[in-house]
Amino acid sequence: MALFSIIIPLYNKERYVENAIKSILKQTITDYEIIIVDDGSTDGGKEIISKYVSDKISIIDHYKNRGLSAARNTGIKNATSDYITFLDADDLWHPNFLQTVKNLISSHPEAHIFATNFDEVYPKTKHKPHNGSENLPSGFNGIIDFFKINLKQGIYTPSSVCWHKSVFETVGHYDEKITFSEDLDFNIRANLNFKLAYSTSIQMSYFMETDNQITRSSILTKTLPDYDQYEKYCSTAPYLKKYLDFERYVLAKHLKVDGDKIKHKLIIRSIDLKNLNYKQIILLKSPFFLLHCIKKTKDFLIRKGIKLTSY
């Protein structure tokens, strides 16, 4: 049995998926299996990945599109290893990603979640370190409180985290009914129950502008996570309430820009403004046209390799 099961959810990423696979094949650790779940792709991605099928690389077909969470869950159900990790088809691992995770596993047996820092790749291949772990010292490898450290930008992506299989056995799989911020729901459930070992070493690349990114589409037709269901855990997780209010703030901005005034107002009512900084409060109360202009400007700057945030 391999040490790692690597799951690649694939949907219409023919331009990127081969590079993702190659980044796995360049890993300094080879004790893994790769499970590619084709979620009903309509481009040429299936033909590209077919040539990589081997004893270590398998393909599972959904035949019709069922969504990202369903693709991940199919991979989880077919994984045979104790440690399960995902690589989105438009992301890349650095050669020592699995080795870094293995080191975390060895040095922190009390943990069941293992993650690394990552860099962001802008158009014209400009790499910039992600700032989510800026409050941790350089070279840090240790146990962290997900909700405390994750109050600004995310400290890991779905492609830079590894899970012991017992996490899924305990908290369940990804909720397939949720179609926006699917990771948020699972991350909360997992980090409420298990310890996270984290390395500030950059071992993965996240591409800021690729086809079909969910962040570039409207959320009006999507099913959102129910933030309120986690409130009952705030007494045992001191930073959870602040984390939830930060995520509510992010969602409220999306809702206002996309024109859903009713849901926007409902979300705002649940936010304790003491948990936001002054820039976030101003943006939260800004009119639609201003937020729309800010979003357009941020999208333009990202294409130029510049990222601005209110965090």
pLDDT in tens, 129-177: 666 666 799 899 999 999 999 987 889 999 999 999 999 999 999 999 9
The confidence score (pLDDT) of residue 293 equals 84
Global pTM reads 0.91
142 with 187, same domain: the answer is yes
189 with 296, same domain: the answer is no
**In the chain, what's the furthest Cα-to-Cα distance?**
56
| Cα gap 210→176, rounded to integer Å | 23
Q: Answer yes or no: are the C-beta atoms of 126 and 305 closer than 8 Å.
A: yes
Domain assignment of residue 30, yes or no: yes
Mean pLDDT, rounded, of the chain: 90
309, amino acid identity: T
Q: What is the CATH number of the domain that holds 141?
A: 3.90.550.10
| Cα gap 105→223, rounded to integer Å | 35
246 with 110, same domain: the answer is no
The confidence score (pLDDT) of residue 214 equals 38
The confidence score (pLDDT) of residue 70 equals 98
Q: Which residue has the higher pLDDT, 111 or 264?
A: 111
Structural Rg of the chain based on CA atoms: 19
| Cα gap 186→150, rounded to integer Å | 14
Pairing of strands 32-38, 4-10: parallel
pLDDT digits (tens, 9 = 90+) for 170-180: 999 999 999 98
112 with 209, same domain: the answer is yes
176 with 72, same domain: the answer is yes
Residue with tokens 């959810």: 9
Domain limits at 279? Answer: 228-304
